[in-house]
Amino acid sequence: MLQYFMPTRVIMGEDSIKKNPSVFSEMGKKALIVTGKSSAKKNGSLDDVIEVLSKNGQSWSIYDKVMSNPTVECVYEGASHARAEEVDYVIGIGGGSPMDAAKAIAMLACQDITEDQLFSGNYGKEVLPMIFVPTTAGTGSEVTSASVLTHHKQKTKIGISSPVLFPDVAFLDAKYMDDLPRDVTVNTVIDALSHSVEGMLSVRANPLTDALASVSIRMIASCFEALKKFDLSRKDRENLLYASTLAGMVISSTGTVAVHAMGYSLTYFKNMDHGRANGVLLAEFLRFIEEHLPDKVEQILSYMGMKNVDEFKDLLDELLGLKEEITLDEINMYTEITMPKHNIKNTIVEPKKEDIFNIYKSSLC
């Protein structure tokens, strides 16, 4: 049985925010703008949103304290802000961190959910409407129903997920990425690539998600040379943004698999950016899958115009540069943390404990 659900309205193109003011006025009188500390103020996205709200005669309040890898504490603080300001809807602007925080804030502003219940998956239907403006091309959070939060008590990152968390509207405008630095660009592109590759290696993959993933992987691969030189045109930026949204549509159905489960410990304990954490593991994960399903891996590599996993690993090594050091004790600890994660069981070939250990080891030792 084939199932696919995508309720988010996607509006793509240059100046798409300014050309669609009614999308904002239809949401209510007052917005909570959820964003990170500084980039939205510099890349034009916040200015465009405020210009539209002002022209529409709408009011807004800004919550701009979202850090990278947002914490549980941050989303409760944002939700208190939303309640105090009595907002009607949420506008999330930024990379995956502000967008993920915005989703949790939109739900916590309407429902009394304790911290213990937050990861239970049992939520009511009440949520503030959401408009999202991605300013990185990587997470696809603008079209997924997941919000990934840092949970200090469990020393890891965990996703909350519910159909009510799908944003209502996503505006895709690559002009906000003109000055995205090299490291954020590379890490986020690799995150998007990882989403499409993992989506194809999920037990929930289907012909529709595979079709989206294949286009996404090909589009990302068409930018590999420009990425290596870090000489990206606006058209490349548009292709990467489109590809990352397609990859988000893939994982909204398939979920992510072992790579994301493993990457969370590298982010939590080694402070590695999310996309980088996936990138350092992806090639060795493909090698593990290849042992069981060589045709599947050959197909994925062919979308990138590559003949073998070594070629792919060379590319990732070139893009990611010198890797962080990791000890065997650390690998043992991360393996223990990774094994119970639901993305492990979601992997087309379910890795055993020693497989997870070996992927970490061959990737980072």
Q: Tell me the window of 4-12, 90-98, 213-221, 331-339 that interacts with ligand NAP (CB under 6 A).
A: 90-98
**156, β-bridge pairs:** 151
Pairing of strands 146-151, 156-161: antiparallel
136 binds ligand NAP (CB under 6 A): yes
Spell out, one character per residue from 161 to 180, where the chain touches ligand NAP: x when CB under 6 A holds, - when not.
---------------xx-xx
Classify residue 181 as exposed, middle or buried by CB count within 10 Å of its CB (0-12, 13-18, 19+): exposed
| E strand spans, 95-251 | 130-134, 146-151, 156-161, 169-172
338 binds ligand NAP (CB under 6 A): no
Judge whether 115 and 88 are in contact, CB under 8 Å.
no
Q: Considering the complex, what minimum distance in angstroms separates the CB of residue 228 from ligand NAP?
A: 20
Contact residue for Zn ion among 48, 100, 173, 191 (CB under 5 A)? 191
Give the residue with the Cβ less far from ligand NAP, 100 or 355: 100
Alpha-carbon 228 to chain mean position: 22
144 binds, among Zn ion, ligand NAP, none (CB under 5 to 8 A by kind): ligand NAP
Contact residue for ligand NAP among 27, 31, 91, 95 (CB under 6 A)? 95
In whole angstroms, give the CA distance from residue 301 to residue 295: 10
97 binds, among ligand NAP, Zn ion, none (CB under 5 to 8 A by kind): ligand NAP
165 binds, among ligand NAP, Zn ion, none (CB under 5 to 8 A by kind): none
37 binds ligand NAP (CB under 6 A): yes
136-168: burial string, b at 16+ Cβ within 10 Å, e else: bbbbbbbbbbbbbbbbeeeebbbbbbbebbbbb
Give the residue with the Cβ less far from ligand NAP, 78 or 275: 275
Q: Tell me the window of 124-132, 191-199, 295-303, 316-324 that interacts with Zn ion (CB under 5 A).
A: 191-199
Give the residue with the Cβ less far from Zn ion, 16 or 265: 265
In whole angstroms, give the CA distance from residue 288 to residue 309: 10
In residues, how long is the chain?
Answer: 365
**171, β-bridge pairs:** 11
Q: Considering the complex, what minimum distance in angstroms separates the CB of residue 43 from ligand NAP?
A: 4
175: nearest Cα among 17, 1, 65: 17
Give the residue with the Cβ less far from ligand NAP, 180 or 337: 180
Give the residue with the Cβ less far from Zn ion, 199 or 351: 199
In whole angstroms, give the CA distance from residue 364 to residue 359: 8
**63, β-bridge pairs:** 34
The sign of the torsion formed by the CA atoms of 185, 288, 216, 262 equals negative
142 binds Zn ion (CB under 5 A): no
Spell out, one character per residue from 198 to 237, where the chain touches ligand NAP: x when CB under 6 A holds, - when not.
----------------------------------------
253 binds ligand NAP (CB under 6 A): no
In whole angstroms, give the CA distance from residue 56 to residue 17: 12
Judge whether 269 and 355 are in contact, CB under 8 Å.
no
Give the residue with the Cβ less far from ligand NAP, 94 or 351: 94
Extract the tokens encoding 144. Answer: 């997924």
Contact residue for ligand NAP among 167, 255, 275, 279 (CB under 6 A)? 275
Neighbours of 242 (CB within 10 A): 19
Judge whether 303 and 218 are in contact, CB under 8 Å.
yes
Contact residue for ligand NAP among 8, 135, 196, 202 (CB under 6 A)? 135
Site for ligand NAP in 96-115 (CB under 6 A): 96-98, 100
**90, β-bridge pairs:** 32, 130
87: nearest Cα among 131, 117, 145: 131
78 binds, among Zn ion, ligand NAP, none (CB under 5 to 8 A by kind): none
Q: Which residues bind Zn ion (CB under 5 A)?
A: 191
Q: Which residues bind ligand NAP (CB under 6 A)?
A: 36-39, 43, 68-69, 94-98, 100, 135-136, 138-141, 144, 146-148, 157, 176-177, 179-180, 184, 188, 191, 274-275
